[in-house]
Amino acid sequence: MSVAARLAELGIDLPDVAAPVAAYIPAKVHGDLVWTSGQLPFVSGALPATGKVGDGHGLVPASDAQELARTCALNAIAAAAAAVGIDRLTGVFKVTGFVASDPSFFGQPGVINGTSELLGEVFGDAGAHSRSAVGVAALPLDAPVEVEVAFTFA
């Protein structure tokens, strides 16, 4: 099944490619890989939440951050699709996830599962990938999560 057909089956519309917030391009092709730049969880050009992830007042709950990581994955698919065409994407090679973390938060892998699970839903077995989930002090625009994805294509 094509990626476009699978997205339609899941009831998912790809967003427009997020405009870069600095001097870079959204995705770059090398060999049979499309590497995305870090994708923030933009929805219609805005961040739906900002701040550090953790438990407590004023922090972004891990469950919300996991949904934001899912949004990052959709933005990454959109960027890769714009580079090579949606139905040329064949799978996922590598995910690197960054979570702006409160110092007491250690659940970065669970947050980035939002990305990994969405990619699995869309690509099936070809969505299995290697991955890093890293806690950081801050992300651009005070985003709670940022994700880079390397996709395979034919």
Q: Does the pTM exceed 0.95?
A: yes
Give Cα separations from 84 to 20, 31, 153 (angstroms).
18, 12, 8
Dump pLDDT digits (tens) for 25-52. 999 999 999 999 999 999 999 999 999 9
CA distance 90 to 87: 8
CA distance 25 to 38: 10
Dump pLDDT digits (tens) for 66-80. 999 999 999 999 999
Q: Which residues pair with 39 in a beta bridge?
A: 147
CA distance 130 to 116: 10
The full set of domains in the chain, from first to last, is 3-153 (3.30.1330.40)
Q: Alpha carbon 6 to chain centroid distance?
A: 18
pLDDT in the model for residue 148? 98
